[in-house]
Amino acid sequence: MTLPCLTLARRFDVRLHRPFWMADQAVGWIRASDVPLLARWPDVFALDHARVTLQPGFDTVERRSAALGSVIGALAAEGRIVGWRDETYAIRNTFEAPPIAYIERAASRFFGTMTYAVHLNGIVECAACAPQMWIARRSESKATDPGMLDNVVAGGIGWGLDARATLIKECWEEAGIAAELAALAQPGRTLHVLQALPEGTQAEQIFVYDLALPEDFTPRNQDGEVAEHRLARLEELLRWIGEGTMTVDASLATLDCLLRHRWIEPQPGLEIAPLFKPPVLPAE
């Protein structure tokens, strides 16, 4: 069995990308077709056939951030970087590592740097019916995946927040879930996505959580980023995943939940955990 989300989450051709290096570390992937855009900043980037390197003279977090910031601003003004968020992301290869630099969230996919996100499976269990799950439909105005189905709560982790703090914040903003209830969420697997997208490369680590929601609870969006919520049966979830009407990230988080709770049986092609480690960035 092969589902679209499993294929798309691994849709990445190393040959079409160049590793992005800074501070003696490979920190991202830049599309080979985008590399010429950076040639006008020779004082910022060293370019060759094998990689893009931030010039070594930018030897502190502040200097690296400032150098990237000037380039990102110019590329955004030209429409090369879209979906400006006014959110700061840290460039770091693992979630626990100290930042190498800071960038605007919208630029993370242009440079293919590792990002981190939380996804919540909002589960409703009752004695008289099979388990169900609340699903959100993303607003048509979203910069990424507009109008697609998503987990009831999902959001990127900005600099200065950990996964659980982000989850609690996003629970209220996206679904009106109070902090006291959100704090009861239980962790699932940590998944990895590396896929080529129109705006660049999504290299993302997803922290999955499950939350049992009361039968009488109805999600209510607070920030305008969700168009509607649906309480879905298992067969509906599987159909949406199979049709590709649910985002890749949400499909993976939902499958993780269904497999962990054994609401669907494991079978070849549905092994979630081992398959989502991204390719190792090349060593020096």
Give the tens place of pLDDT for each residue, 212-247. Answer: 999 999 999 998 889 999 999 999 999 999 888 999
Q: Are residue 85 and residue 204 in the same domain, yes or no?
A: no
Residue finishing a domain among 113, 128, 158: 113
284 found inside a domain:
no
Query: What is the reported pLDDT for 278?
Result: 46
226-233 vs 129-138, strand pairing mode: antiparallel
22 found inside a domain:
yes
Give the tens place of pLDDT for each residue, 173-183. Answer: 999 999 999 99
- Looking at the structure of the chain, the number of domains it has is 2
135-142 average pLDDT score: 92
Residue 277 has pLDDT above 50, yes or no: no
Q: What distance in Å separates the CA atoms of residue 150 and residue 245, rounded to the nearest whole number?
A: 9
Tell me the average pLDDT of the chain: 90
Query: What is the reported pLDDT for 7?
Result: 62
Is the pTM of the predicted complex or chain greater than 0.85? yes
Give the tens place of pLDDT for each residue, 27-45. Answer: 999 999 999 999 999 999 9
Residue finishing a domain among 83, 113, 143: 113
Query: What is the reported pLDDT for 276?
Result: 43
Q: Are residue 102 and residue 149 in the same domain, yes or no?
A: no
Residue 273 has pLDDT above 60, yes or no: no
Residue 11 has pLDDT above 90, yes or no: no
Residue 215: count other Cβ atoms within 10 Å of its Cβ: 12
> Range of 149's domain?
115-273
Query: What is the reported pLDDT for 225?
Result: 86
Provide the pLDDT confidence category of residue 275 given band limits of 50, 70 and 90.
very low
Residue 69 has pLDDT above 60, yes or no: yes
3-state secondary structure labels for all residues of the chain: CCCHHHHHCCCCCHHHEEEEEECCEEEEEEECCCHHHHHHCCCCEEECCCCEEECCCCCCHHHHHHHHHHHHHHHHHCCCCCCCCCCEEEECCCCCCCCCEEEEHHHHHHHCCEEEEEEEEEEEEECCEEEEEEEEEECCCCCCCCCCEEECEEEECCCCCCHHHHHHHHHHHHHCCCHHHHCCCEEEEEEEEEEEECCEEEEEEEEEEEEECCCCCCCCCCCCCEEEEEEEEHHHHHHHHHHCCECHHHHHHHHHHHHHCCCCCCCCCCCCHHHCCCCCCCCC
167 found inside a domain:
yes
Residue finishing a domain among 59, 79, 113: 113
Provide the pLDDT confidence category of residue 145 given band limits of 50, 70 and 90.
confident
